[in-house]
Structure 1
Amino acid sequence: MKKLLIIDSNSIFVRAFYGIKMLSTKSGIFTNAIYGFLKTLKKLRSDINPDIIIFAFDLPDKTFRHEIFKNYKAQRTGMPNELAKQLPVLKEIINFFGYKIVTYSGYEADDILGTFANLCKKNLEYYCILASGDTDMLQLVSKKTQVVIYKFKFGKTEVINYNEKKIIEDFGLKPKNLIDVKSLQGDISDNIPGVSGIGQKTALKLIQKFENIENIYENIDNLNISKNIKNKLILGKDLAFISKKLGRICVDVPIDSNFENYIQSKPDLEKIGKIFEKFEFFSFIKEMNLDDSNENICDFELKYVEKLDILLENIKSKINFYFLVNYKENDIEKISVLVDKKVFIIKSSCENFYEFLKKLLEDENVSKFTYDIKRLKNVLNSRKIYIKNIRCDIMLACYILNPSFSNYELEKIFERYGILPKCSNFICYLEKLVNLIFEDLNKNDQLKLLEIEQKFALALSDMENLGFEIDKIKLEKYSEKLNKILENLVSKIYDFIGIKFNINSPKQLSNILFEKLKLPKNKKNKSNYYSTNSEILKNLIEIHPIINLILEYKTISKLKSTYCNGILKFLKPDNRIYTIFNQTETKTGRISSLEPNLQNIPIKSEIGRELRSFFIAKKDFLLIDADYSQIELRILAHLSQDEKMLNLFKENKDIHKITASKIFNIDVNLVTKEMRSRAKTVNFAVIYGMSAYSLSQELKITLKEASEYIINYFNFYKDICKYFEKTINFAKKNNFVETLFKRRRYVPEIKSSNFNMRTFGERIIKNMPIQGTSADIIKIAMININKKLKKFKSKIILQVHDEIILESPIEEIEVVKELVNFEMENAVNLSVPLMVNISVGENWGNYI
């Protein structure tokens, strides 16, 4: 039997938009709904292999349902602008593919699907599959009609196939009776009223028992149901029958019933290729083999090289060295080199391979173009081979151009630039890719930033190679201590509740807190139970004493599992951990680390701070900890040029104390420690674009107080307010914000019609130039320090946000302290001085 697939296009299109993160082209055109729709279409074609595909769309006109009930869908406000703009593009793409779009005035897409399902019942040749994101379609399931429901959650697609058997298993009803459930419970999304006071569970039970609303109302006086429900049904009778008319899908729309007229015509591949290129759907271009340009056909001569002398001189004469490295575990397997449209493959087993590499990589007259220099340097460290004159690390360059990508693999980078190699050797197209990247870097004035990132990558490699020593014995004792604390907390919690349960199970904990103890409930999460995350629990501290115990348990448990066990897991035989630093993960330029993560070692609690004391200096060495003082506020002063803040820093005044006097409207001499602490929070809240509500939650004050703090703050620092307004306007116009060193972050959220998304965009816009500039400054400082330390035994072993940690021989301490202080304070010239706090000690937790 042939398969007829009808797609509820609006439904899947809208759900793709809300279920997939904001995607946009370089020029800021939104594409996420189109992308999600096309991915869904690809999966449908693959899974179903239909003979005919028809795309049903809604029209903006009113339908026959509005004549029945004038308030039908009255609450709908229309598509957000960033979604609406994608709709005509999607229809254009569907037409280019040769598919047929079906609409009919006065009817919805649902009705078109219903009509095709009905036509299929009469056509012995076809079986019908309906694809939608809307469960209303389930009423159409029959022996000849299957419904496929698509849901988008956090960028992933969930697919549920419904036939008659599945409907009965899930609902205990025949498909045709599902409309009766809706008639009673109503539908908020379509403004279908239903019967007031009858919810989903009650509606389902009634229809399971009586099959349909006609049976219910014909026998209303004799029904064995509660008096309360009977009264609600009687009062809501008229609305129940109106709701059934509204919810029932029409199956006789006067459309063309000849299926042969819907067969796909020949796709216009040239137009598809052009529109995919315009909207940067390069993965689709590759999948469909739409790139017919001769320039991507590999006509390069391929050679495996044994003797390297001639090749070495040939490369040196060209000045530019384009190469890619293939790795096998933690060593080089082979390299591919591009010279004059010739590709040379050199295996590491080749005689004098590393001598060849050393001569090339250390030649300052030869510019290097490659991918991921940090990994290459890590491999070459043991052979004492150094990389000089790096012109372009493609991975870092693409990160600079757009830090919002989740994947910087070489193949993905080629795709983003529309270079779709016709052979497996990416090296053939490396020079072309580099030229395109440099065009973008030049246009954005980001070449200096690339230079910083490339030098910083080499410094990170040194840090990864050095590691950080751990006092294993003390850490293991600390682990035992945490175990005892956890056992004691578990015992207290069980005694308090009266039953044993798995505290680590969010679902079980949710049941205890919100069902057994009847604590105030929040919204259910995607797993259909009430959330028990720490932020929600903090709001319940004053309501029930068990909450403090649970929060303490969560804190200690995380210390134990994430940090304590994590560090022990990655500890090497020399009692050092060698974390991996990721340079391309954050959107602000900060680094992250893993195996283990050392960026978030807790410091707020005493027991958390204790963990840092197990990070120690090796024998005869001490740790030097250099931490920028209030660097983000100093950057804010520079960027905003707020005269009052500039003067406070220039005069080395206590900025938190001064701020406190202004937000509390008191003399500076009357500011208490508590007031200063609150003002400090306000200062940093401003940097992170915190709302009055969030500030009130953070400080545990009223919303009115928090609002007054913010108003008083900007009344004093007037130019900071003007700076934020200017930056937001810049982002609205240009779609990005940038740091002092031209690091960009694109912010499509600022153009969203969704208030929450737009507010999120504003917070990014306020924070990124400050936090990003801070990241840039510390990178410059570290590059300069690393360079000066070449003649010392002291080395940088860790960087965490605004803090640099060095391991230094005792005899070098004073001179290295002075060197570090100078390089950090003079990394850049701002309108205010940069200040550094330097401490020395045997471990990271306790300094002298």
Structure 2
Amino acid sequence: MNVSLRLNLRSPTAESAEAAKRVEVAVERKKAAETIEQAWERILAMKNSDTDRERLLAVKHAMESGTLGGYPTDGKRFSKAEALRLWAELNERQKADKLAEMVRNTPPHYRLIQTVMQMDELVADLANESIVAVDTETTGLDYYDSDVIVGVSLTLPNANYHVYIPVGHDEGEQLEREYVLARLKPVLEDESVGKVLHNYKFDAHMLIKHGIRMRGLRWDTQIAMHILNENEPSYALKNLATRYLKEPSDTFEQLFGKAQFSTIPLDVALVYAAKDTDLTWRLYRFQREHFKRLPKLLDVYERIENPLIDVVLDMERTGFVLDAEHASKLGEDLRGQLADVERQLAIHFGDINYNSHVQLKPAIEALVREKIDSTDVKTLKALQDRHDAVRLLLKYRELTKLLGTYVEALPQQVRGDGRIHANFNQAATVTGRFSSNNPNFQNQPKYARKMFVAPPGMVILSGDFSQQEPRLLAHFSGEPVLIEAYRAGKDLYTTAAAELFGIPESECGDGSKYRKMLKTGILAVMYGTGPKTLAGQLEINEKEARDFIAQFYAKYPNVKAWIDGNERFAKKHGYVEMLYGRKRRLPEVRSRDRYEQFRALRQATNAIIQGSAAIQTKLTMIALDALCKRKGWQMAFSIHDEIGLYAPKDITLDDVREFESVMLNTVTLAVPNKTDIEISERWGEGKSVKEWFALAE
């Protein structure tokens, strides 16, 4: 009986397996039974990014309209992954259809130049043009080393046609690059023939690589748009054309993805490239009409921004000379310091990764006996007095950044000519201040600056505007104490600190806590810094910071009145004005969100000060460039409030005085300007004018 019983019993394992199989079959049936509507409801209910959701909806619409099939008929479940795969298929199909449509609808006044006879006719027509639009098509964005021009586009307004001249495409009849550029060179280099471009600097750089220095820039539609609206979400030509010319236009990436333009068939290349100068010319005319109602802004563009573009172009071409041997020695020194710091850290932390937040957080908490939310620099600085290990961590962070970001990285950016060429951007910030990238020289520490030297036989002559922004504060506010201090040649921070705290100036000199507090306080006023932030900067509590600001305003009522006036003006007009009428638009001042409105109002004064400083710097650069051309010097850089150039090693005192005069007198304010001039063979090791010439003697 026991045997029979055992034979009739079913094992729990077998029963579980059968149950699992039944569930699996039921699930599969449910999947198979899911309608397309239910599938889309499920997929769209997932957590999708905005991009994915847009793509999914495009696929759904295409399937509903019959453009796409793709719903599984083999019982498999329709997935999000399959939907996105279908989007890629749909996108490629739509791109192909769009390109075919573009070719079918090629405007009759778009011409492809492929023969010598066509080129002769073009050159003859160019002789009758006083201004043209220009664009280049290239293999990429590297105009110093690896990339080349594959075609040139031109718009001829008088002749009323637009051309594309292919010179480097993989297929199709085309003229030789050298021949075409030689025929175009006289026109491109002729100052009397005006040039209109979108992002002129890129095309000018690329043409220089091919032996042409384009002259006669009349208008850069990208830079001009920044004057008309510094809050544009995108300055790409196609996006601006879509928005302002009501001309729906696809970007290069939308049409061609990652393909090089040299691979694009010539019929497609014509309609795309000729449209570039066509749109640039139309955008130029649109902007000119708009500027007619804004004469002050037109003056800012024509007098400051447009002439500055060529100055920046030449400055970028000049580049920075890296002392490779010195950079190597700095690297060895930093690695030695870093090894020493790591040995000391190991005593406190043991064998952990100092760059790992997960490992570092509990280790710090154990030492300082306090819970922390972060291991960032700000948190470490707040804890540095609690334990030596925290100070060592800050040192470790500083050394690793110097080594990785500067000393090791910068030599990798040396170009084929042996120099580093940064991009200096005159229209990348909302206030018009310069920025730089590849590399960013705006945050270059003094330690790293010493890797750079003057070219052979030359020196670095540089001047920075002393207290540039506080002088502008005095200029705009008309505050008597500030104005008198500057006119008397006194140190503003010392004088103002003595006034504010009611103590002798002798106790408020350089290095004193009173001068430091006043300097921080004045900057806080200009930047709209709140009491909480100021308290952290001055290492006082928030009430003391609030009292400090109130005391400052009480002592300098003209400053307070000016700041209040800026906020009233911004509320009324939606913008504030800098020197010469340049605008900083602050649309959020009219926001219903009180926090957004508050933030915008805090920007009002800062925008006037910072933007006006940028204007002073830019006008001075233009004047210094003229001085350089007269003397055979070279503009080298513009970083914060410092402008530098390369001058001959045998520079005279009279030469320096001319440089100083340009720095001081190009833009005059209600207070005198001051510049600190240095001369050096190695950046960061500058000597005063007096020291330099004393050594020379």
**SS of residue in 2 equivalent to 1:494:** helix
Number of the residue aligned with 2:224: 397
Does 1:420 find its partner at 2:454?
no
Match of 1:440 among 283, 290, 311: 290
Q: Is the 8 A contact 1:395 1:410 kept in 2?
A: yes
State the distance in 1 between where 2:607 and 2:342 align. 42
Number of the residue aligned with 2:670: 831
Number of the residue aligned with 1:130: none
Q: Is the 8 A contact 1:303 1:342 kept in 2?
A: no
Does 1:641 find its partner at 2:449?
no
Match of 1:560 among 400, 403, 415: 403
Q: In the comparison of the two structures, how many residue pairs are matched?
A: 582
Could you say what the CA RMSD is over the residues aligned between the two structures, in angstroms?
Answer: 3.6
Of residues 729-738 and 484-493 in structure 1, the stretch that sits farther from structure 2 once superposed is: 729-738
Amino acid at match of 1:658: T
Q: How does 1:208-247 map to 2 (within 5 A)?
A: none
Number of the residue aligned with 1:495: 347
Q: Is the 8 A contact 2:475 2:671 kept in 1?
A: yes
TM-score by length of 2: 0.76
Number of the residue aligned with 1:328: 139
State the distance in 1 between where 2:424 and 2:638 align. 10
Does 1:584 find its partner at 2:427?
yes
**SS of residue in 2 equivalent to 1:625:** strand
Following superposition, the deviation at residue 670 of structure 1 comes to 4.0
State the distance in 2 between where 1:430 and 1:841 align. 44
Structure 1 residues 505-529: Cα deviation after superposition (integer angstroms, max 9, x where no partner): 23332343347865243xxxxxxxx
Amino acid at match of 1:403: E
Following superposition, the deviation at residue 806 of structure 1 comes to 1.4
**SS of residue in 2 equivalent to 1:548:** helix
Does 1:343 find its partner at 2:162?
yes
**SS of residue in 2 equivalent to 1:502:** coil
Match of 2:54 among 42, 45, 48: 42
Following superposition, the deviation at residue 465 of structure 1 comes to 1.4
Following superposition, the deviation at residue 350 of structure 1 comes to 5.4
**Kindly tell me: are residues 343 and 805 of structure 1, through their superposed partners in 2, closer, same or farther at Cα, counting changes over 3 Å?**
same
**SS of residue in 2 equivalent to 1:690:** coil
Does 1:841 find its partner at 2:669?
no
**Kindly tell me: are residues 420 and 815 of structure 1, through their superposed partners in 2, closer, same or farther at Cα, counting changes over 3 Å?**
farther
Q: How does 1:638-787 map to 2 (within 5 A)?
A: 638-671=475-508, 673-754=512-593, 756-787=595-626
Following superposition, the deviation at residue 640 of structure 1 comes to 2.2
Number of the residue aligned with 2:196: 369
State the distance in 1 between where 2:570 and 2:59 align. 42
**SS of residue in 2 equivalent to 1:363:** coil
Does 1:409 find its partner at 2:236?
yes
Number of the residue aligned with 2:29: none
Structure 1 residues 480-533: Cα deviation after superposition (integer angstroms, max 9, x where no partner): 111121122222222112x32211223332343347865243xxxxxxxx3322
Q: Is the 8 A contact 1:486 1:557 kept in 2?
A: yes
Structure 1 residues 782-822: Cα deviation after superposition (integer angstroms, max 9, x where no partner): 11111222132321111111101111112234343222211
Amino acid at match of 1:840: I
State the distance in 1 between where 2:202 and 2:527 align. 33
**SS of residue in 1 equivalent to 2:632:** coil
**SS of residue in 1 equivalent to 2:293:** helix
Following superposition, the deviation at residue 377 of structure 1 comes to 2.5
Amino acid at match of 1:512: A
State the distance in 2 between where 1:401 and 1:503 align. 48
Match of 1:600 among 443, 446, 468: 443
Number of the residue aligned with 1:476: 328
State the distance in 2 between where 1:444 and 1:7 align. 54
More helix by share: 2
**Kindly tell me: are residues 822 and 463 of structure 1, through their superposed partners in 2, closer, same or farther at Cα, counting changes over 3 Å?**
same
Amino acid at match of 1:317: N
Amino acid at match of 1:42: E
State the distance in 1 between where 2:354 and 2:681 align. 38
Structure 1 residues 22-59: Cα deviation after superposition (integer angstroms, max 9, x where no partner): xxxxxxxxxxxxxx98x67524414666989xxxxxxx
State the distance in 2 between where 1:817 and 1:557 align. 39
Amino acid at match of 1:777: Q
Consecutive unaligned residues of structure 1, counting only runs of 5 or more, are 17-35, 53-125, 127-143, 149-158, 162-285, 522-529, 603-608
Higher relative contact order structure (alpha carbons within 8 Å, sequence separation ≥ 6): 2
Q: How does 1:234-383 map to 2 (within 5 A)?
A: 298-304=107-113, 306-307=116-117, 308-329=119-140, 330=143, 331-339=148-156, 340-348=159-167, 349=176, 352-381=179-208
Number of the residue aligned with 2:301: 450
**Kindly tell me: are residues 436 and 297 of structure 1, through their superposed partners in 2, closer, same or farther at Cα, counting changes over 3 Å?**
farther
Following superposition, the deviation at residue 384 of structure 1 comes to 5.9
Q: How does 1:496-535 map to 2 (within 5 A)?
A: 496-497=348-349, 499-514=350-365, 518-521=369-372, 530-535=373-378
Q: How does 1:621-632 map to 2 (within 5 A)?
A: 621-632=458-469
Q: Is the 8 A contact 1:664 1:709 kept in 2?
A: no
State the distance in 1 between where 2:135 and 2:207 align. 15
Number of the residue aligned with 1:260: none
Following superposition, the deviation at residue 338 of structure 1 comes to 1.9
Structure 1 residues 298-353: Cα deviation after superposition (integer angstroms, max 9, x where no partner): 34242315344443342342322122221234333221112243222224525643
Aligned residues with identical type, % of pairs: 26
